[in-house]
Structure 1
């Protein structure tokens, strides 16, 4: 028996795993890039760079095997963003007791629409997993409306109140638009 055989087979096995992992990552990266290219081409509200960066920030997307998996990941990324924004609004309200009454009212309204959105995600994910893409589309559309409603609330005052949530609202809007774009691709592929 050759003593170098176990070393050679384990080295071969390790190299095979590394090669397969790199191949899988390459496929996932191409899937992300192509999906983001399609999303940004069909929706002017979606930035290709933002889309790619959003998926690259999530380790699960590096292992996505198809558009269906990437769609679920996009919904979960959006849910995380909405949940984080909801917590941020709570912090702003708790830590800033001397807020301008108009800003406080706007933040309260934003908290309400973002809180409602969190429960909507449960239904959206359930619909998505059951391949009820049209129902999921409707629910995600309400979430995209929440970010717009929140931001628009600050614009109602004539003295130019500045929203402390502009970037977060834009991110929520764009993440929701990415998820909606993927769902629309899936709906169109079902036809």
Structure 2
């Protein structure tokens, strides 16, 4: 990408830090704009809706939005684990799909404590390790979804959940990168 793009992105990051420092109410919009520009797979609208879903986001600075985004990932991953547990009780589920669901359960069960560690790492300014931890959770969502694609005709019952976790972790990674 061109020099102008990186100059513009750097300027946006600078504005985000200034906005975060003075509590500008545009922090969510400007954060999501910069985040979606840095990751073409991240939806601006999803980012705004997700961050606004937490009442603390209205007064949060950039660091606060980073914590909120990781906490949203933890909450959603926890809900996915519950959803998978319910699906596994369904006796009519295809044996292959059941095996994939069990794999997904393991992936998300591991992702939750990893995301909790990411909060601590982010708070302690260990942005590298926070990035590694959040990336691991992002991989869990992709790996889970890909598992269902291994057999033709099997449809993932977790497509929306996997997509949401992917988007939430993409928000977190974009914010972490703004500090890194």
Q: Please indicate the TM-score interval, normalised by the length of the shorter structure.
A: 0.7 to 0.9
Matched residue, 1:185: 178
Q: Alpha-carbon deviations, 1:20-56, whole Å to 9, x = none?
A: xxxxxxx554000000000011100111100000011
Question: 1:102 and 1:33, CA in 2 relative to 1: closer, same or farther beyond 3 A?
Answer: same
Question: Is 1:108 aligned with 2:102?
Answer: yes
Q: CA deviation at 1:98?
A: 2.3
Matched residue, 2:44: 48
Structure showing greater radius of gyration is: 1
Matched residue, 1:3: none
Q: Which runs of 5+ in 2 are unaligned?
A: 1-22
Q: Alpha-carbon deviations, 1:45-104, whole Å to 9, x = none?
A: 11110000001111111120x21111111110111111111111111112x122110010
Question: 1:135 and 1:160, CA in 2 relative to 1: closer, same or farther beyond 3 A?
Answer: same
Q: Write out aligned runs for 1:166-177 (5 A).
A: 166-177=159-170
Task: Say which SS state the counterpart of residue 26 (structure 2) adopts.
Answer: helix
C-alpha contact (below 8 Å) 2:73/2:115 kept by paired residues: no
Q: Write out aligned runs for 1:61-100 (5 A).
A: 61-64=57-60, 66-94=61-89, 96-100=90-94
How many angstroms apart in 1 are the aligned matches of 2:120 and 2:27?
24
Please report the TM-score for the alignment, with normalisation by the length of structure 1. Answer: 0.80
How many residues were matched structurally?
158
Question: Is 1:139 aligned with 2:133?
Answer: yes
